[in-house]
Amino acid sequence: MVLCSHQEQAKETKHITTTAKVAHAYEFYHDQAAFNYRMPNLNAALGCAQMEMLTQFLAQKRSLAAGYQQFFKNSDYKFVQEPEYAKSNYWLNAIICPNKLLRDELLEKTNQQGVMTRPIWQLMHHLPMYKDAKKGPLPVSEFLESRVVNLPSSPIMESSLI
């Protein structure tokens, strides 16, 4: 779902999410690179049903995030919290570990205990199919890749379990 503030934004968004096909009686002409991001009705119905739960889900996610923040408060692990100028939906909760060794140790121990933690996604240039792609220096990205752990973030989790 895409929400727009202005009619022109909505028109352009619809155009590029429906393959940028220029309207014509029989020609197939696309005026820019675009994709087919249309959604089947069944998926749309599911999305509408989920929207009815949005307020509750956001409250549960913020509660979970608060529990994580409290849990990691006096540790060497830094919980990633929202900046002062924003309000996060806490779709994904994460911590920054002091170093890669402690990150890997945390991942091993939590997963052995049935807590599904995961490292942050690997940087694209570290994947085999992009090893020869152009890139610039990425010190911050590489720092985070070696230290961030994604925590369980389901809105139905109880923060009291932390």
Domain shared by 79 and 124, yes or no: yes
In a domain, 97, yes or no: yes
Looking up residue 156, the CATH number of its domain turns out to be: 3.90.1150.10
Mean pLDDT, the chain, rounded, equals 93
In a domain, 66, yes or no: yes
Based on the structure, what is the number of domains in the chain?
A: 2
Q: Write out the residue range of the structural domain in which residue 104 sits.
A: 53-161
Domain shared by 151 and 84, yes or no: yes
Per the confidence metrics, is the pTM higher than 0.75? no
In a domain, 45, yes or no: no
Tell me: the pLDDT tens digits for 27-42? 889 999 998 988 899 9
Tell me: the pLDDT tens digits for 109-160? 999 999 999 999 999 999 999 999 999 999 999 999 999 999 999 988 655 5
Domain shared by 65 and 32, yes or no: no
Distance of CA 85 to the CA centre of its chain: 19
Tell me: the pLDDT tens digits for 53-88? 999 999 999 999 999 999 999 999 999 999 999 999
Domain shared by 20 and 91, yes or no: no
**CA-based nearest residue to 147, from 100, 78, 83:** 100
Domain shared by 16 and 85, yes or no: no
In a domain, 47, yes or no: no
Residue 37: the pLDDT is: 86
Domain shared by 149 and 69, yes or no: yes
**CA-based nearest residue to 61, from 148, 158, 161:** 158
Domain shared by 149 and 120, yes or no: yes
What is the DSSP code (8-state) at residue 159?
A: G
In a domain, 46, yes or no: no
Cα first-last separation, the chain:
32
Residue 160: the pLDDT is: 55
Residue 14: the pLDDT is: 92
Proportion of the chain in helix, strand, coil states, percent, rounded to 5: 45, 10, 45
